[in-house]
Chains A and B, each alone.
Chain A
């Protein structure tokens, strides 16, 4: 299975997310993550989809089917052009007095941050590529993880040309 990150520009209209998610489930595409947010243009939403496929052909199917949605303006496969992908994770970990020092050193090693501390737990925030996020989750699994929230990957192409002009 190969993973690709697609940047999908869509009309910022009600129903768009239903159309996109409905298509993904109807066509039984394998989606690793999906996230959406506003862009520099108020009328456009950017949906970031990480899709995992068996073959190039299957990838074409995903792109072509998404392309048929009326509210999809543009799809760019950012895995095929130089680009930078990032994901944000927040991890709530049980932090007993004894564990705390260890946790701080893990956080330092990953250049993560502790963004909340209570007497029982800490919340660790980390931004990075997917491998890095996976790695910190792995290391922290030695401690007692209370919950994890991940955004899924978002990405921008390198260089001056935005996705809408590609």
Chain B
């Protein structure tokens, strides 16, 4: 079919099953937006390109589909950078389409020109500059393929403005021809046999899962493996939801602010089965002393992750969708009654954890963050998606919100991007309209993309925005309290801002909770009401997130109070 480049972009998106894009117009994408208008292609206009890219990210995290964002050249593209880096760190599939100045203007420091490929090279899996309209269908096909296969990640496509106007005989390719890339990530089955033997010969195994289990959709396999082994288990922040919180032997998440029980189990186990996680420095404590008594097994799709941060004893390189079912079957075929064999160790790990569970002290009628989040967790059904921003509230949400299923705890783990929360929650709600979406944010973080309150109001996107309002950049304050002699340098927020007024001005209802009893008298009704709401909850300024593994310490050297 004969069409212009802009139509070709949209037709290609349709072929990829894209039903919604997040985007912001500008000079070089005017033609593209004209076709969006004519085709009635669903586009959510956000308040800021950063909002658009985090929204696409939230959409992708909530569904597993590829999130799509569109921005104009120069400042529009540059505004995507934080969001692309955020998605890249957490292996979230995105396709980011930016307009570039026209071919003849490239390289001349033209108006609104930035080198998008240069800027995005370190933060994408791959990127393209499209200068010829005939490349549009192939490039879009490849971009989606690359983004959603293997280790998922963002791909950016920069399209010269004149390409949108050029004519093309549109044919969407049905084959991909990439010599250096395949979506087949099948490893060596023998490597799995070795792990089975290692499990048969160990006394104290621990399963440690990460976000890779979510992106490969293998949490069912993990649960079945746990059924068979009956050993203790833990997760990274990114893996929350894969293991049911009530499962016997589940110790909560591990790491810097993870549970005492999980961190101790890592240090005490003799076989650590790390599955779809990358030994981030937030999770290892001092690397040299990580899991000192254990042989370490790494199930991982990305060969470059193996032995990157932690030297492992066994590796199973390949898609978890390939390795975990095999591992499960091979375990099932073993003669050993694992559950019986590991039950004493499981009980020991659980009992150890009970010494210092996640907790908070109630004090008079102030609202403690832990109490707030526990209450919300109780009030939400099992399908609720919790989204967080970054800071103390993020860790409290991870500790006290009981995430029941994968894709229901959305957080910026690898990059720790303040401002991620509100747009990501918006994207998640648009992706899953039938699910309740609750955002936990801070009085610092919310300011970093607060313009999106207007977007959720304009599009009637029902997100409950819970501001854990502690009048400080709390996580910064915590470090200053513990390590910088209480010098609250540039962290206090005893300011005049009024989040209810801001919410109302943008078209969202606003509520304020200041007393503990209001968690009973007011919160349930607000949370269960229809439509977006900002819930501004005053909490004390000087609460610490506990436990904490201070930088450079071993996982068992936690600060506990």
Q: Which residues of A contact B (CB under 8 A)?
A: 10-11, 14-15, 18-19, 22-23, 26, 57, 60-61, 64-65, 67-74
| A15-B178 in contact given A57-B307, A64-B304, A67-B304 (Cβ < 8 Å) | no
CB <8 Å contact, B117 and A15? yes
Please, which residues of chain B bring their CB within 8 A of the CB of A22?
A: 121-122
Q: Return the 4 tightest CB-CB contacts between A and B, nearest first.
A: A64-B304, A22-B121, A73-B180, A70-B126
A60 to B126, CA, bound (A): 21
Q: Name the residue on A nearest B118 (C-beta).
A: A18
A64 to B302, CA, bound (A): 9
CB <8 Å contact, B178 and A70? yes
CB <8 Å contact, B179 and A73? yes
CB <8 Å contact, A68 and B117? no
CB <8 Å contact, B304 and A15? no
Q: How far is the CB of B74 from chain A (nearest CB, A)?
A: 19
A18 to B307, CA, bound (A): 26
Q: How far is the CB of B424 from chain A (nearest CB, A)?
A: 25
Further 6 A-B residue pairs, CB within 8 A, beyond A15-B127, A71-B180, A72-B180: A23-B122, A57-B311, A68-B304, A69-B180, A70-B125, A70-B126
Instruction: Say whether B303 faces chain A, with CB atoms less than 8 Å apart.
Output: yes
What are 15 A-B contacts with C-beta separation under 8 Å?
Answer: A11-B179, A11-B180, A15-B117, A15-B127, A15-B128, A15-B129, A22-B121, A26-B122, A57-B307, A60-B307, A64-B303, A64-B304, A69-B180, A70-B126, A70-B146
Instruction: Say whether B459 faces chain A, with CB atoms less than 8 Å apart.
Output: no
Q: Most A CB atoms within 10 A — which of B121, B127, B308?
A: B121
Instruction: Say whether B483 faces chain A, with CB atoms less than 8 Å apart.
Output: no
The 0/1 profile, CB within 8 Å of A marked 1, for residues 304-336 of chain B is 101110010000000000000000000000000
The 0/1 profile, CB within 8 Å of A marked 1, for residues 120-159 of chain B is 0110011111000000000000000010000000000000
Instruction: Say whether B111 faces chain A, with CB atoms less than 8 Å apart.
Output: no
Please, which residues of chain B bring their CB within 8 A of the CB of A23?
A: 122
List CB contacts (< 8 Å) of B496-542 with chain A.
Answer: none
Please, which residues of chain B bring their CB within 8 A of the CB of A18?
A: 117-118, 121
The 0/1 profile, CB within 8 Å of A marked 1, for residues 79-123 of chain B is 000000000000000000000000000000000000001100110
Please, which residues of chain B bring their CB within 8 A of the CB of A61?
A: 304, 307-308
Q: How far is the CB of B368 from chain A (nearest CB, A)?
A: 42
